[in-house]
Structures are given as structure tokens and as C-alpha cells.
């Protein structure tokens, strides 16, 4: 065939400009795409050779080779795969978005199609070479063809390409990139090896590069005629679990996570059906320093047919499981055309849901059978797992069973199931209190009646707890009730005599309540007697539907405006300080009323708006 100049099919100049300047966010992607294409070509030959072994000629070992020439400023990617005829070169390389891989897959039937491990989908990966190359040359010969049937295709990516017949003894394809000015960084053995290791480390074929050694006389690295593999050509997750030792699982975890400690737990599964994928997921033993950065991903690496796509596949794992590390390898996923973004689809949703359930199942197993190990996990990641209560309603019940708390019975490790098992006869609710610290929660005056009656109260001190409680209302049919909201309703736990005495006390103390309400009209919504106090004179509570004081403080600390509202002051008429009110002179009554309110506010972790005024009032009373 005489040399011809032909035009691309489509508005190629604009499309190639888009590929070169806009489609890919990272220049080094070109090598991933071209190595993937080379791997595809070898796989195509392997399948065709099942019916015609002569296609393998005298080179049955399939491989990909990569080398560079500093003088010519070229990078070459060679495969000894299926190759192309002249017509195929024109058809596949001269038409943007025509994928030879897609055509080949369409031609496969039955088990062959199921086993095909081909990567290309869009027919644009080849053109990514123009990101770094001012000219691309392809020299190829179809397996089984004569040497004289070789083809050379070349283009500068401006709208035209040239095709001519050449003599090519070798089967397969060479893709030669003539680098543009400023792209010399890729003329480096270290650079090319690092890119191949990053993206193509686990493809099934060996990727070879010429070995380099130190020449003492030249005082430089020189390239030898020896070739060495630069990829592992094996994926641990693709092997059967029975073939992998625990030490190998742990070594792989350290490799992908850069963590020197062994993982706390891992799960390895192959899922088959409409959506086929393999998952190898790990829970680390220690939390990373940026755990609370919800925008930071990087835990789960996504591969498609063993080719690395991205290491921040957030669509495959919910945010509250961002600490999970590992690999998900899918047979097929809807990537965008540059294969750098994952598009939402039914398959993506199925993988996300399946992976979430596997991680929760792994945690459930640890929680049930390795209590100490789960306690270590909870200390590191418990607060993050609580985010799932509000974000993952589908798994909320499973997550609630995994929650652990401190309580008035134990400083840690209390589950809802533990709490229910210790509930008093007649107890109708799960009681809790939120606070900034465990010490602050333990010393809260709102707990006094519960301690007196031996009723356990959960002590919630994580910043996420208040948000979580807006989504978790009950567990196993028992409502969650704050001891700092509303009145004390202990139901059957409070006998009739106690109720009657409370009513009588409230009636007798009514005149004093009215005086207190008048003195505190700008600070308290209401003043009332309570049965929840035993040793303290007063406490601050809010109405059942109002925002808790603790949540209001958290919002203020984060710079957000909390809804304006006033709390309720509950007083203990039996306390000496309240008895003193009855004999306090009118001139000092207001000071003492304000002090009682301020002390109640301090006791529940609040801050005084005017500490100096509090000090002056105390001083005045001390000097009377």
C-alpha cells in the first residue's frame, strides 16, 4: 500500500484538543491508558489463540515492554498481542471514540466473554498520548499476517494522520510517543517505573523495562540489554482466600495504607451476580490524624479489571466509614470518559451497600467475639461511627447495636443491650445526659434522683452525640429520654407517696416560686420545684422540645447562632439554700436568687455571661 494521508472521522481537531487539555487532570494518565491498551491487545490474542494456536507464532509468552530514548525524546510501549491490519489501524485509530475492545467484546460469546479481562471502553485512551506527545507513531502487524503486512500509523493530532505499509517481522504493536518540549521529565526510568507501579502494578501481564546499572567509568546509569518486570503482575485480592496467609493479608495492608501497625480486622469477598466485584477491606488499629476531616478520602482504592483508577473512591464507601482501607476491584463500572471520576449508577450503589454491610458485619463479629479488640476500635473510631446513625438510615438499627457509651455504672463499653439488661422493673425509658466531659456528666445534679433509685444513666460526651440523638429516638422499643429535658417522669419507679409529697411541697412553696420567677424573669422561662434533686439546691433544664443547653453551647463554640430561648430553673425546697431564701431580706433576695441560678448554670457546664457580676453578688452576701 502506498503512503496515504487521510482525515479523522469526526471533528477531530476539537476533540483531540479536548483530550489533550481538558479530559485528563493528570498528565501521567497517558501511560496507564497505553499500558492498558497493550494489555488488552495481549488478552485479545490469548482468546483468539484458544481456537488458533498458530497465532502465537514463535512468541507464546505475552508481555508489555516500555522504554525511552533521551536523544530522540521518545517513549515506546510495545506489546506482542493481536496487532492490527491496515484497515483496523485506520478504523480504530482514525475514528475517535471507536473502541476496538468494545467491538471485540461484542464478538465474544458465552464463557469467553465472562472471562475476558479487557479494560478499554471509550476508544479515547490512546489519544491521551497527545497530552505529552507532539506526534504519535504506531507500528503494528496482525498476528498470523506476513511481515510485509506491517502498518505504520502516525499523526500530530491536528486533524490528519498518515498510514503506510512497512515490513515488520514482530507480531504486535509499538506505540511511539515523540515528546513535546517541556515533557522531558518522563524520560526517566524512575518516573516511568513509578507510574507503572501506581496504575498497572496488578494487571495480569508482566510489564518489562530495560535494566539499568551504574557505569563507574562513565559515572552514570546505563541501560543494559536485560529486561526486568516493574509490576507485580498479580493481585492479592484476586486470589482465593484459601491461598492467602494472614501474614500476606497484613503485609498487603501495610503496603496500601503506609501503616506500620497490623490492621485490627479485615474481610475479603468476591461478589457475583448482576454486579460482580471483589473487595478486600481493612479496619486499622489506630485512627489517622485527619480522621475528622470529612472531605479527606483515600481509604478505598478502586480498580477496574486490576487497573488502578482512583484512591479516593468515596462513592463506594459512606463517609462515616472513611477510616476503612482496602481495595474494590470491579469487572465493570460506569466511569466518566477520562476514567478519573466514578458516576453514580445502580452498580455503584450495589457495591457501596454491599461493602457497607460487609464492614458492619466484620465489626459485629469483633464486637461479639473479641470484646477487648472492639473496645480498642471504639476508642479510636467510635465517634465517627456515630455519624452513620444520621447518615445511613438503612443500617441505623445495626449501627445502634454497635454503639458503646459510658454510664453511671461503667466508664466505657456500655451497649444499649447491656443497658436494657440492667433496667429496673417498671422502667420505661433509656435515660441519658450529654455533657462536655465525663467528669462534668458524672457530677451533674440532674443525676441525683437516678443515683438514689439505682437507675443507670448513659453519659454522652462526644461532640457528635447531640447531632446523633436528633436521629435516634429509641432502641428495641424503649425511647431515649434526656434527664435534662422536661419534668422527671419515672413512672412506676416513683411510688404514690412520693408523688403526693411532691405535689404538696410544690403547693406550699408556690409563693416563693413566684418571687423567684419575678427576680429571674429575664433569665428563666419558669421556676418550679423538682424531685430530681437530692443534694443540690437547683438545676437548669429545658422543655422537652427545646434545644439542650449543651447543644446550644456547641453551636456557639462553632460560630453558629443557636435559637434564642430561656431555660427552666428547678429548685429543691428541702435544700438549706432554698430555706434561707425564706428569711433573706428583700434587699438581698435578688442577689441570692441570681446566685442560685448562676450556680445551677455552672453545675451543668454552662458559662456565665457576666462572671464579675456573680462575684460581686457573692461578696455582698458574704459581707452582710
DSSP 494-517: S-HHHHHHHHHHHHHTHHHHHHHH
- Give the C-alpha distances (Å, rounded to integers) separating 108 from 54, 275, 306: 20, 19, 21
What is the model's pLDDT at position 339?
Answer: 47
The CA dihedral of 278, 366, 407, 460, to the nearest 10 degrees, is -10
What is the model's pLDDT at position 387?
Answer: 93
What is the model's pLDDT at position 488?
Answer: 66
Distance, in Å, from the CA atom of 423 to the CA atom of 453, rounded to the nearest integer, reads: 12
Residue 246 confidence class, pLDDT cut points 50, 70, 90: very high
Inform me whether the pLDDT recorded for 248 exceeds 90: yes
pLDDT average, residue stretch 110-131:
59
pLDDT average, residue stretch 540-555:
75
Cβ–Cβ under 8 Å, residues 126 and 42: no
Inform me whether the pLDDT recorded for 338 exceeds 60: no
Cβ–Cβ under 8 Å, residues 296 and 290: yes
pLDDT average, residue stretch 192-201:
91
CATH, domain range 391-492: 3.40.50.11260
- Give the C-alpha distances (Å, rounded to integers) separating 363 from 265, 268, 580: 8, 14, 56
Inform me whether the pLDDT recorded for 549 exceeds 80: no
What is the model's pLDDT at position 609?
Answer: 85
Inform me whether the pLDDT recorded for 84 exceeds 90: yes
Inform me whether the pLDDT recorded for 558 exceeds 70: no
CATH, domain range 495-622: 1.20.120.790
Nearest by Cα to 37 from 236, 199, 169:
199
pLDDT average, residue stretch 360-384:
95
Among 93-107, 405-419, 472-486, 530-544, name the one with the lowest average pLDDT.
93-107
Distance, in Å, from the CA atom of 253 to the CA atom of 324, rounded to the nearest integer, reads: 11
The chain-wide mean pLDDT, for the chain, equals 84
Inform me whether the pLDDT recorded for 497 exceeds 80: no
What is the model's pLDDT at position 475?
Answer: 96
Distance, in Å, from the CA atom of 490 to the CA atom of 473, rounded to the nearest integer, reads: 18
CATH, domain range 4-229: 3.30.565.10
What is the model's pLDDT at position 220?
Answer: 65
**Domain map of the chain by residue range?**
4-229, 240-378, 391-492, 495-622
pLDDT average, residue stretch 135-142:
96
Inform me whether the pLDDT recorded for 168 exceeds 90: yes
Q: Check residues 294 and 386 and name the one with the higher pLDDT.
A: 386
Q: What are the helix (H) ranges across 338-407?
A: 346-369, 371-385, 387-391, 396-402
Distance, in Å, from the CA atom of 306 to the CA atom of 118, rounded to the nearest integer, reads: 10
**Strands, E, within 256-340: which ranges?**
265-271, 277-283, 300-304, 307-310, 325-330
Inform me whether the pLDDT recorded for 98 exceeds 80: no
Distance, in Å, from the CA atom of 139 to the CA atom of 152, rounded to the nearest integer, reads: 4
CB-count burial class (<10 Å; 0-12, 13-18, 19+) for 21: exposed
Cβ–Cβ under 8 Å, residues 206 and 233: yes
What is the model's pLDDT at position 128?
Answer: 83
Nearest by Cα to 314 from 305, 301, 303:
301
Residue 337 confidence class, pLDDT cut points 50, 70, 90: very low
What percent of the chain stands above pLDDT 70? Answer: 84
Grid cell in block for residue 599: 450556680
Residue 415, helix vs strand vs coil: coil
What is the β-pairing status of strands 133-141 and 150-155? antiparallel
What is the model's pLDDT at position 311?
Answer: 75
Residues 6+ apart with CB under 8 A from 392: 318, 320, 356, 399
Residue 260 confidence class, pLDDT cut points 50, 70, 90: confident
Inform me whether the pLDDT recorded for 292 exceeds 50: yes
Inform me whether the pLDDT recorded for 115 exceeds 60: no
Grid cell in block for residue 232: 507485580
What is the model's pLDDT at position 531?
Answer: 82
Q: Check residues 407 and 235 and name the one with the higher pLDDT.
A: 407
pLDDT average, residue stretch 42-62:
91
Nearest by Cα to 106 from 124, 92, 121, 89:
121
Inform me whether the pLDDT recorded for 407 exceeds 50: yes
Residue 120 confidence class, pLDDT cut points 50, 70, 90: very low
Residue 234 confidence class, pLDDT cut points 50, 70, 90: confident
Inform me whether the pLDDT recorded for 113 exceeds 50: no
pTM of the model: 0.75
Q: Check residues 256 and 249 and name the one with the higher pLDDT.
A: 249
Among 316-325, 405-414, 498-507, 549-558, name the one with the lowest average pLDDT.
549-558
CATH architecture of 240-378: 2-Layer Sandwich (3.30)
Amino acid at each position: 500500500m502506498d503512503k496515504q494521508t487521510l482525515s479523522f472521522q469526526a471533528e477531530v481537531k476539537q476533540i483531540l484538543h479536548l483530550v489533550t487539555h481538558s479530559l485528563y487532570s493528570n498528565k501521567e494518565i497517558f501511560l496507564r491508558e497505553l499500558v492498558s491498551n497493550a494489555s488488552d491487545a495481549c488478552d485479545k490474542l490469548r482468546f483468539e489463540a484458544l481456537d488458533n494456536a498458530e497465532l502465537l507464532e514463535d512468541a507464546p509468552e505475552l508481555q508489555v515492554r516500555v522504554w525511552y530514548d533521551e536523544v530522540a525524546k521518545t517513549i515506546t510501549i510495545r506489546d506482542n498481542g493481536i496487532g492490527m491490519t491496515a484497515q483496523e489501524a485506520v478504523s480504530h485509530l482514525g475514528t475517535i471514540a471507536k473502541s476496538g475492545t468494545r467491538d471485540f467484546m461484542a464478538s465474544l460469546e458465552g464463557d469467553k466473554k465472562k472471562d475476558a479481562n479487557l479494560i478499554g471502553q471509550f476508544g479515547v485512551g490512546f489519544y491521551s498520548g497527545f497530552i505529552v506527545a507532539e506526534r504519535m507513531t504506531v507500528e503494528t502487524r496482525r498476528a498470523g499476517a506476513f511481515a510485509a503486512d506491517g502498518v505504520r500509523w502516525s499523526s500530530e493530532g491536528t486533524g490528519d494522520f498518515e498510514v503506510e505499509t512497512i515490513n515488520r517481522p514482530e507480531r504486535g504493536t509499538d506505540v511511539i510517543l515523540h515528546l513535546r518540549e517541556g515533557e522531558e521529565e518522563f524520560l526517566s526510568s524512575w518516573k516511568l517505573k513509578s507510574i507503572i507501579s501506581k496504575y498497572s502494578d496488578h494487571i495480569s501481564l508482566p510489564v518489562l523495562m530495560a535494566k539499568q546499572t551504574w557505569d563507574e567509568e562513565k559515572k552514570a546509569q546505563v541501560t543494559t540489554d536485560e529486561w526486568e518486570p516493574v509490576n507485580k503482575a498479580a493481585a492479592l485480592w484476586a486470589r482465593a482466600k484459601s491461598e492467602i496467609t494472614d501474614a500476606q493479608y497484613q503485609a498487603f495492608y501495610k503496603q496500601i495504607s503506609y501503616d506500620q501497625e497490623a490492621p485490627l480486622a479485615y474481610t475479603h469477598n468476591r461478589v457475583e451476580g448482576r454486579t460482580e466485584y471483589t473487595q478486600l477491606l481493612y479496619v486499622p488499629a489506630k485512627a489517622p490524624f485527619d480522621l475528622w476531616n470529612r472531605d479527606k478520602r483515600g481509604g478505598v482504592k478502586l480498580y477496574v479489571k486490576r487497573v488502578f483508577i482512583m484512591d479516593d473512591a468515596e462513592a463506594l464507601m459512606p463517609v462515616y466509614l472513611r477510616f476503612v482501607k482496602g481495595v474494590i476491584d470491579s469487572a465493570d463500572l460506569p466511569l466518566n470518559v477520562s476514567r478519573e471520576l466514578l458516576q453514580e449508577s445502580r452498580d455503584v450503589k450495589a457495591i457501596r451497600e454491599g461493602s457497607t454491610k460487609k464492614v458492619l458485619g466484620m465489626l459485629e463479629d469483633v464486637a461479639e467475639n473479641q470484646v477487648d479488640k472492639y473496645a480498642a476500635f471504639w476508642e479510636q473510631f467510635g465517634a465517627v461511627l456515630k455519624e452513620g446513625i444520621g447518615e445511613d438510615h438503612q443500617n441505623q438499627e445495626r449501627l445502634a447495636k454497635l454503639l458503646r457509651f459510658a454510664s453511671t455504672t461503667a466508664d466505657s463499653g456500655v451497649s444499649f443491650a447491656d443497658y436494657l439488661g440492667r433496667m429496673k422493673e417498671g422502667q420505661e425509658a433509656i435515660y441519658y445526659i450529654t455533657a462536655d466531659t465525663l467528669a462534668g456528666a458524672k457530677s451533674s445534679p440532674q443525676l441525683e434522683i437516678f443515683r438514689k433509685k439505682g437507675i443507670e444513666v448513659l453519659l454522652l460526651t462526644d461532640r457528635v452525640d447531640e447531632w446523633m440523638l436528633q436521629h435516634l429516638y429509641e432502641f428495641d422499643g424503649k425511647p431515649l429520654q434526656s434527664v435534662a429535658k422536661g419534668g422527671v417522669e419515672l413512672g412506676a419507679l416513683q411510688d404514690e407517696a412520693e408523688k403526693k409529697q411532691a405535689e404538696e411541697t410544690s403547693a406550699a412553696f408556690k409563693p416563693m416560686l413566684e418571687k423567684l420567677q419575678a427576680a429571674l424573669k429575664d433569665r428563666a422561662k419558669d421556676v418550679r420545684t423538682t424531685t430530681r434533686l437530692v443534694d443540690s439546691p437547683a438545676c437548669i433544664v429545658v422543655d422537652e422540645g427545646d434545644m439542650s443547653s449543651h447543644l446550644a453551647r456547641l453551636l456557639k463554640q462553632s460560630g453558629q447562632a443557636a435559637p434564642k430561648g430561656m431555660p427552666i430553673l428547678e429548685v429543691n425546697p428541702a435544700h438549706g439554700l432554698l430555706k434561707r431564701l425564706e428569711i433573706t431580706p428583700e434587699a438581698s433576695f435578688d442577689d441570692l436568687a441570681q446566685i442560685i441560678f448562676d450556680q445551677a448554670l455552672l453545675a451543668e457546664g454552662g458559662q456565665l455571661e457576666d462572671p464579675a457580676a456573680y462575684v460581686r453578688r457573692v461578696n455582698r452576701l458574704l459581707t452582710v
